[in-house]
Structure 1
């Protein structure tokens, strides 16, 4: 090998180690500054069902601290469901759900960090001035100006989703307005909120540019939600952070071995890089397929083409955003559709997707039974051509690992879990909310 070739190979082999060496403990300056007064409002709004079309579901229903800021389900049960977490059902009567939420509810950890520029499994919310408002979103040029962050922009879209919080078009005025145009339901929700005296006064106090409750729009509501999420789900005190700060004993021997593998021969840090363990890129993993899928308007079957649905680029077919791994041990099940129940199972899939798919069983899912949806839940598996396309589309090719090495990788991933952020969060669940609607509790 030439001297130049040896040098280039050396750079490639040492890159993962350099990636670890470049990391430092998370600090306050890694996060966008937020107003505590606005976060105080955001806490109430996060747990208040007033933001849903039928006043029966809150942001916290699918992103509850009791379940690591997710819902512990493979696929969520949104508007029309009843209960919380794995005990949630599809509801009953005319208001029962018509479809499951097509993708796994992601955790909210550290999304207030400056680092994040793209959100959602397919990246359809991102920082971009394409439409002149600072963001590229499904609302395009109709997204209102004044949103503080990509997290605030993201907070708007569950409110306008029929399956998540808006409800059916014939059920309430919000859903009917959204059917007309995606942004039409937001003013209705803003009026609901600001006409509640406690909220109206709170917004006047928390926002310098708001002099009367009548001035409150969905923008202030979204910014308050983002402020709360940024403070409440900020996790900076994991054992790995302590290790980065100089405490050589912060990691167990197994976690230390897993760290060496993660940043070295196992190749994990090629995608899970940076302070939040994500390069924010998109990759196809060939996960088992099931569920209604996030179909495009012209899809005839229940499938999910991932990033391609946003980019319209065939090269992006079946690719999904690389998730952050901080507090990942708290957010099972794993994958864009929650296909795997444990970190070990997800790692095994990365190492050998073909074998993992063949060994996968429906019993691996946390998917509350909804009898009227059973046929749809696994419809895609009857299409052998679609299943073959998804299985063949993979962007990962990792070397096999021994059983002790897999255990060590799991130990390292567990070392990314914070302590105070989980056991003693800044806010917690409020006893009540200004609307008087019930607050979800396990």
Structure 2
């Protein structure tokens, strides 16, 4: 059990309360008119190969900016959240999305320079376009932020939004080279009169709709995400700003979080993330994020980007702001509740031993079910993953787990569910809005 001293608790309080409050000045500047275009594009299926899925399908306002699933149902599916189905006939999905859809909260904060669970997109001059990304030198110039750059990649991902090569011109172009599809998507958008007019009005360098490129589309979506998902009015922020006390259980959880439980070793800073990568031993399942030369249904995490063995099975530390709104948890959504996730982080080995597939929110897909747990039968791979663990176990009583969960709940913004723009009722393409 933990042993605490008064001096130790005072030290913890000083450390926790000295954190700088988050303010508007901590976010990248974004143009509201451009963001309003981005709001429409975010929910417009015109940006998908088969015109059947939008960014908002998997990052929905009603689901805290995520999709409520462990592993998403991408292109070909129907509906949102737990009700999303895997499609039928020729539209049926061929693969689950291999990772949990991350929420979008506070991604416009200036501290965010790396995105995706494996960090495969980051601010960098390595390719001369401002970013180290899967598109390498083919990522176009002029993207304002890492958010704008990120917005382009789901559009050209086969199982997320592009579709299969034989189905549409977008997927076929991607098959040739990653950047070949972006001009086609830009033409789709700019030839819709309402979009063309909005781009001319919102962007100083655009005098005619024919000038709209994928860069402008990315910048609009990036502006929307940066403005829409700002959240820094939680009870914890009130504590930092004016000393408003937390409820007793949340206060006990705060002391644990910054103290003996060790959570703040990785969940640090204003967004409660060190922006680094750690192996936390989550139970393996799903199709994995396979590589061309490694078809095993496994996910090697950061190593898939760096090719460094020491990065194997490490994933980016998620922000904990509004975490109570974004279940399930982990890079693959292994746990349905914060209680279970906290218990896993306290003792990954013990929790992995009692994990069951029923804990995962996986919509029924009979034709994929045989592969959902295939990786768990690979004894050597399971041993490799178990050996890569950056977590030092701690002993937590049930009451302490409950207190930590209460503190995590105190990181929920008071206006988190009331966003400034929200989900549009309709989009200029006329396609249905999820």
Same-fold call, TM > 0.5? Answer: yes
In structure 2, the residue matched to 1:7 is none
Secondary structure of the residue that 2:95 maps to in structure 1?
coil
Alpha-carbon distance change, 100 to 113 in structure 1, aligned in 2, over 3 angstroms = same
Deviation for aligned residue 1:21: 3.5
Counterparts of residues 320-335 of structure 1 (less than 5 Å)? 320-335=315-330
1:115 is aligned to 111
1:373-414 deviations in Å (ceiling 9; x for gaps): 011111101111111111221001032111111111000000
Of 379, 399, 424, the residue aligned with 1:384 is: 379
Q: Match of 1:399?
A: 394
**1:348 and 2:348 are equivalent in the alignment:** no
Aligned twin of 1:129: 125
Paired position in structure 1 for 2:430: 436
Which of 302, 306, 310 is equivalent to 1:311?
306
Give the aligned partner of residue 201 of structure 1. 197
The whole-number CA distance in structure 2 between the counterparts of 1:118 and 1:19 is: 26
Note if contact 1:349-1:357 (Cα within 8 Å) is conserved in structure 2.
Answer: yes
SS at match of 1:20: helix
Deviation of the 1:232 alpha carbon = 1.3
For the pair 1:73 / 2:88, whether they are aligned, the reply is: no
8 Å contact 1:19–1:273 — kept in the other structure?
no
Q: How does 1:136-147 map to 2 (within 5 A)?
A: 136-147=132-143
CA distance 1:192–1:253, change in 2 (3 Å): same
1: CA distance, partners of 2:85 / 2:433: 17
Alignment correspondent of 1:173: 169
Partner Cα distance (1:84, 1:62) in 2: 7
- State the match for 1:253 in structure 2: 248
Shift of 1:128: 0.8
Give deviations 1:144-172, integer Å, cap 9, x for gaps: 01111111111110001000000000000
- Report if the CA contact (8 A) 2:322-2:416 is conserved: no
Question: Is the contact made by 1:288 and 1:339 (CA closer than 8 Å) also made in structure 2?
Answer: yes
Question: Given the alignment of the two structures, is residue 90 of structure 1 paired with residue 86 of structure 2, yes or no?
Answer: yes
In the TM superposition, residue 20 of structure 1 has moved relative to its aligned partner by 2.1
Q: 2:274 aligns with which of 274, 279, 283?
A: 279
Matched residue count: 428
The answer for the alignment partner of 1:3 in structure 2 is none
Aligned residue for 1:340, secondary structure, equals coil
- 2: CA distance between counterparts of 1:19 and 1:223? 37
Within 2, Cα distance between the matches of 1:96 and 1:336?
24
Q: Deviation string for 1:166-205 (max 9, x for gaps)?
A: 0000000000000100111110000000000000000000
| 1:358 matched residue in structure 2 | 353
Distance change (3 Å), C-alpha of 1:19 and 1:150: farther
Distance (whole Å) between structure 1 residues aligned to residue 72 and residue 15 of structure 2: 35
Equivalent positions of 1:29-48 (< 5 A) are 29-48=25-44
Match of 2:3 in 1: none
Q: Which structure 2 residues correspond to residues 404-419 of structure 1 after superposition, within 5 A?
A: 404-419=399-414
- Are the structure 2 counterparts of residues 127 and 17 from structure 1 closer, same or farther at C-alpha, using a change threshold of 3 Å? farther
Indicate the residue corresponding to 2:4 in structure 1: none
Per-residue deviation, 1:88:
0.6
Residue 230 (structure 2) aligns with: 234
Whether the 8 Å CA contact 1:16–1:269 is kept in 2: the answer is no
Q: Is the 8 A contact 2:12 2:255 kept in 1?
A: no
- Give the Å deviation of 1:22: 3.3
Instruction: Supply the RMSD in Å over aligned alpha carbons.
Output: 1.5
Aligned in 2, Cα 1:15/1:190: closer, same or farther, shift over 3 Å? farther
After TM superposition, the structure 1 stretch with the greater mean CA deviation from structure 2, 319-328 or 240-249, is: 240-249
| Alignment-derived partner of residue 150 in structure 2 | 154
2: distance between equivalents of 1:99 and 1:376? 10
CA distance in structure 2 between the partners assigned to 1:89 and 1:388 by the alignment: 34
- More moved, 373-382 vs 192-201: 373-382
TM-score, length basis structure 1: 0.95
Match of 1:427 in 2: 421
Give the aligned partner of residue 5 of structure 2: none
Distance (whole Å) between structure 2 residues aligned to residue 273 and residue 307 of structure 1:
20
Secondary structure, aligned partner of 1:169: coil
Runs of 4+ aligned structure 1 residues displaced above 3 Å come to: 12-19
Q: CA deviation at 1:421?
A: 2.9
On the 8 A contact 2:348/2:393 being kept in 1, the answer is: no
Which residue matches 1:4? none
Distance (Å, rounded) in 2 between the aligned partners of 1:17 and 1:346: 24
Shift of 1:417: 0.4
Q: For structure 1, which runs of at least 5 residues remain unmatched after alignment? A: 1-11
Secondary structure at the aligned position of 2:122 is classed as strand
Change (3 A) 1:308 1:13: farther
